[in-house]
Amino acid sequence: MESPDGFVRAFFILNTQALIRSIQPQDAPAITDIYNYYIRTSIITFEEEEITIDEMERRIQEITESFQMPFIVILEDYTVVGYAYIAKWRTRDAYRFSAESSIYLHHKHFGKGMGFSLYEEIIRLAKEGGWKRLIGGASLPNPASIRLHEKLGFKKVGHFEKVGFKFNEWIDVGFWQLDL
């Protein structure tokens, strides 16, 4: 089923209807809430100050309009419960075939297969967009992210020790790569 804004994927997860579609302007408050939860409570993001809806709207616009890269959301019962996007890996032109993938799921929606479905869709869009490599980063420890990346075929290609500092602790970061 396709929508005027590009695409829609509908499927059932644990007897719940879920829908994946392109980001829309009205999604910014929901994804800001999802992201700010991780800023406040985890090492999943290295940002330390919550962001505003205006800032999230700016970031969405930069990814979707300036860089022409996909940004999608997953809805359960018509409520945004997660999002994923790809962004430039680095700014130098020689990196133009590589992109970094990011995915965030509402903390109450783990274990339903939504993260996997959302990531599968962003991988499909990356392939369609002509990217050759996706790079996913994860602060460590993060067994759920590692399992997700490896289940989708990503291979670990790097590990940086103590490169982040949040909540008064040094944090490692691992990188996984998927050849498209």
Tokens encoding 35: 């992201």
Topology classification of domain 8-179: Aminopeptidase (3.40.630)
pTM, two decimals, is 0.90
Higher-confidence position of 101 and 8: 101
Q: Are strands 98-105 and 133-140 parallel, antiparallel or unpaired?
A: parallel
Confidence tier at 9 by pLDDT (50, 70, 90): low
Flag whether pLDDT at 6 surpasses 60.
no
